[in-house]
Structure formats: structure tokens, C-alpha cells
């Protein structure tokens, strides 16, 4: 039979309480019974201490003999009846005296004198000892041999047992109620989590769990809510990604198909201008496919880097003219500021070029005519630092956390009409992190953006 979690919790709590009650109860009964026995024995021994001294004095004064002790006992009883001492009620207690073999020497019932007590019972009596600890006899309260006395002791033990059992039952009931409350506290969030997961499996990622506490269950609910938000966001981005891919691939393919179809229908070869236009579209497709391959390899962690020491001034001069031409065409002021004593950059030259070009092209794309884009390169003790700053349209605070996600487009700052596949910054971030570096961005809407890349400097252990 399949038990629910709440039932399991209740059973475990009740079993723990019952087991604890049995163990504690057993120890309590044993301790109480032993304490009661010790108390009773000590009480009786105290109450017969006068008789013990009397009979021990008789034994020593009678030549170390018990002969005639029964008559002495009668004389003591007569003395007690006439005494006005405050111990009269104590010394008048009935006692049984035996020798070391268990023969009864004194007994309240004279007919019992001469009988025997089992050797096993002698240790329960009060031993009468001489100065050299020699035992010469035993003295018992006559209550020891009264069935009513033992009945009272058993009755006491029984009452203790009943009280303990009642305590266990009441505690078990309370534990059961407590278990129901605890199981409800634990199971309710789990049930809600199961329900939310079920909704998620149906494609509903908007389900949010209430957070009842700040413990592990509360942390579980918060983590689930965060996960649901991220999955919902990823789903939205994925849907947008498919739409973007379709659009980006459809546009050049449409141009190619239209040009070729027109040429076939008119049976007219393409001129140089048409071929150039088709070539541009093919290059665009090739670039997009290459970016998607790069991103796929980065996400699969299959990117191979051929790192080497790069002199950035020489390295950048090789493609500076292309950037300057692009900036001039867009009527943007492009400035380069490379620190004189900048360290060598330890990176894969091909991937480093992609990083720099992606950042600069992104800045040029979102900077209006008359604007300014600056590339600043420097180094500190640990990092090679690349900064690309523009005074363009900037990025809103709402869009800033998602700017490096693939195919993400802010409504204003990254419109499709401005070009680009939406993969550039995601790929840039992937290449930077593959080098063991970091990339960050600071931006203000309407004031521009600053992207900062930090790559670790060369160390001998990197070889």
C-alpha cells in the first residue's frame, strides 16, 4: 500500500513518541521501584534500629549467646508499654530475630519461634554485627512477612505503570496532532510544487508558488519561482529566436530567389550589379550561419582557442581601415586610444578580432550621425582591458540584464531594422569567457553605453 508523505510523518512521530515513552517509562518504573524499595528498607531499618541495638547488647552481655532471648524480648515489650519515651512508638514495632542459620529466635507469634527463614531471605534483614563485623544474627520487621505489605508495594508499582501508560497515550495523541500540523506545513508547499510542475509540463510557465517561510521549503519555492521565470523568459527568447532566424534567412533567400527567377524568366544573364547584390546576400547568409555555428560551439564548450601573445597595436592596425571606413560612411567620429605601455594580450587572434569588431560594430550601429565611438585599450597588473564607448541611444535598465542573451532585442535600442543578427553580443560574451575573462556594460538611455572586456594577462603556467 502506498502511503502519503503526511501519513509517513505521522507514523514516524507517533512511533518515536511511543518508543521514547517505553524507554523512559521502563527506566522510570525501575528507578521508582528501586527508590521505593530503598526508602522502605531504610525506613524500617531506622524504625528497628533500637531493637537491633537492644538485641545486640543482649547477645554480648549474655556471653555471646542467644539463649533466653525470647524472654528478654518479652521483658523489652513490657518495658516499652510502661515507658514514656518519645521513641515508644518506634521500639514497639514487631520484629523477627533469627540467628545466622535462619532459625527464628523471636517472633510476635510465639508459635513461630523455632521455625526457619530461607537463607535467600536473610540478606533482606538488618544484620547484627559485632565490632569485628562478625554477623551474629538478623532482625526483620514482621511486616516483611505480611502479604499486605507486599501488596501495597506492588500496588504502588502498578499505579506508577498506569500513570506512565496514560502519559504515553496522551503524548501519542498530542504527537499525532502535532504530526498533522507539521506534515501540513511540509506537504502543502510540496503539493503546490507538484501542481506547478504539472502546469509547467503543459507549457504554462507563469505559475508562481507562495512562499510560506524562510526555511528550506521557502527557499525551494523561491528557487522554483526563479526557475519558472527564467524558463518563461527563455521560452519567449526561443520563440523570438525562431522568428528572427526565419526573418534573417528569409530576406537574403528571397532576394536570391527573386533575382534568379527573373533572370530565368527573361532568359537574360545577370549583370555585374545583380551578381554583386547576390554575392552580398550570400556573404550575409554565410556570416549568419558562421555566427550560429560559433554560438553552438560556445554553448557546447567545443570552441578551440589557439592562444598566443598579441601586440595589439600591430594587430589592430590590420583591420583599422575597415572600421574607419564604416564610421566615415555613417558620419560617426571614431577614436582609438591605446595606452603606450600596454601589455601584450594573451588570446586567440582570430577570436580577439571577432570580439573587437563585434563591440565596435554594435556601437556604430546604435550611434546616430554626428555621434562618437571610442576604443580604449589599457592593462593593469592582472588584465588586458578593452573598452568601447559610444554616446548613442543607450540601453534601458529593463533591457540591460538580457543584453548578452542570444537573439535578444530591446524594443528601442536593438531594432531589427538597424541590422545585425542579434547574436553578436552573445558570441562576444562566449569568446570572452572562453578566454577566462569577463565582459560588462554600463549604459544610460539616451546617453550611450560602455562595454568593458577584461582578459587575463599571460602567465607561464598557461603554456
pLDDT of residue 153: 67
Distance between first and last Cα of the chain: 62
Can you give the pLDDT at residue 33?
75
Q: What is the pLDDT of residue 391?
A: 94
Q: What pLDDT does 150 receive?
A: 61
Q: What is the pLDDT of residue 201?
A: 76
- Residue 412: the pLDDT is 44
pLDDT of residue 447: 92
Closest CA to 12 of 155, 213, 133, 176: 176
378 near 385, Cβ under 8 Å?
A: yes
Q: Residue 312's pLDDT is what?
A: 92
**What pLDDT does residue 122 have?**
83
Domains, the chain, in order of start with CATH, read 5-150 (no CATH), 205-302 (1.10.287.130), 303-456 (3.30.565.10)
Separation in Å, CA 112 to CA 97, 119, 173: 11, 17, 55
Task: State if pTM tops 0.85.
Answer: no
Query: Which pLDDT value is given to residue 89?
Result: 43
Q: What is the pLDDT of residue 432?
A: 94
- pLDDT number for residue 84: 40
pLDDT along the chain (463 residues), means of 10: 70 79 79 75 72 86 87 61 42 76 86 85 82 86 68 73 82 79 77 79 76 77 82 73 70 80 81 81 78 74 86 90 91 94 92 93 92 95 95 90 75 48 82 94 93 90 58
Q: Which among 276, 289, 294 has a CA at the least distance from the CA of 249?
A: 289
Amino acid at each position: 500500500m502506498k502511503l502519503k508523505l503526511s501519513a509517513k510523518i505521522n507514523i514516524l512521530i507517533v512511533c518515536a513518541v511511543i518508543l521514547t515513552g517505553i524507554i523512559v517509562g521502563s527506566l522510570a518504573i525501575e528507578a521508582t521501584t528501586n527508590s521505593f524499595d530503598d526508602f522502605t528498607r531504610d525506613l524500617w531499618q531506622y524504625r528497628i534500629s533500637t531493637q537491633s541495638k537492644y538485641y545486640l547488647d543482649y547477645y554480648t552481655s549474655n556471653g555471646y549467646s542467644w539463649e533466653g532471648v525470647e524472654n528478654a524480648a518479652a521483658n523489652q515489650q513490657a518495658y516499652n508499654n510502661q515507658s514514656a519515651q518519645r521513641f515508644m512508638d518506634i521500639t514497639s514495632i514487631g520484629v523477627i530475630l533469627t540467628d545466622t542459620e535462619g532459625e527464628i529466635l523471636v517472633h510476635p507469634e510465639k508459635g513461630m519461634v523455632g521455625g526457619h527463614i530461607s537463607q535467600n531471605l536473610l540478606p533482606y534483614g538488618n544484620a547484627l554485627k559485632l565490632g569485628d563485623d562478625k554477623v551474629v544474627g538478623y532482625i526483620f520487621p514482621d511486616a516483611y512477612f505480611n502479604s499486605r505489605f507486599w501488596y501495597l508495594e506492588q500496588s504502588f508499582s502498578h499505579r506508577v505503570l498506569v500513570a506512565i501508560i496514560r502519559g504515553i497515550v496522551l503524548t501519542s495523541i498530542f504527537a499525532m496532532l502535532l504530526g498533522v500540523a507539521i506534515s501540513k506545513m511540509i506537504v502543502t508547499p510540496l503539493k503546490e510544487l507538484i501542481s506547478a510542475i504539472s502546469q509547467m509540463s503543459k507549457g504554462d510557465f507563469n505559475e508562481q508558488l507562495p512562499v510560506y517561510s524562510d526555511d528550506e521549503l521557502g527557499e525551494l519555492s523561491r528557487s522554483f519561482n526563479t526557475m519558472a521565470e527564467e524558463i518563461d523568459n527563455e521560452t519567449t527568447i526561443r520563440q523570438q529566436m525562431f522568428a528572427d532566424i526565419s526573418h534573417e534567412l528569409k530576406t537574403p533567400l528571397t532576394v536570391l530567389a527573386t533575382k534568379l527567377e527573373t533572370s530565368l524568366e527573361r532568359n537574360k544573364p545577370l549583370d555585374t550589379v545583380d551578381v554583386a547584390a547576390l554575392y552580398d546576400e550570400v556573404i550575409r547568409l554565410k556570416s549568419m550561419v558562421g555566427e550560429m555555428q560559433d554560438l553552438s560551439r560556445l554553448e557546447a564548450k567545443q570552441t578551440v582557442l589557439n592562444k598566443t601573445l598579441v601586440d595589439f597595436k600591430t594587430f589592430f592596425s590590420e583591420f583599422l581601415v575597415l572600421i574607419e571606413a564604416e564610421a566615415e560612411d555613417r558620419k560617426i567620429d571614431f577614436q582609438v586610444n591605446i595606452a603606450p605601455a600596454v601589455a601584450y594580450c594573451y588570446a586567440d587572434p582570430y577570436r580577439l578580432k571577432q570580439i573587437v569588431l563585434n563591440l565596435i560594430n554594435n556601437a556604430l550601429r546604435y550611434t546616430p550621425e554626428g555621434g562618437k565611438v571610442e576604443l580604449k585599450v589599457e592593462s593593469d597588473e592582472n588584465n588586458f582591458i578593452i573598452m568601447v564607448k559610444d554616446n548613442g541611444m543607450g540601453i534601458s535598465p529593463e533591457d540591460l540584464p538580457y543584453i548578452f542573451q542570444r537573439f535578444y532585442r530591446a524594443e528601442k535600442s536593438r531594432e531589427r531594422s538597424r541590422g545585425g543578427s542579434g547574436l553578436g553580443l552573445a558570441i562576444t560574451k562566449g569568446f570572452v569567457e572562453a578566454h577566462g575573462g569577463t565582459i560588462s556594460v554600463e549604459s544610460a538611455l539616451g546617453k550611450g553605453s560602455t562595454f568593458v572586456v577584461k582578459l587575463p594577462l599571460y602567465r607561464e603556467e598557461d603554456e
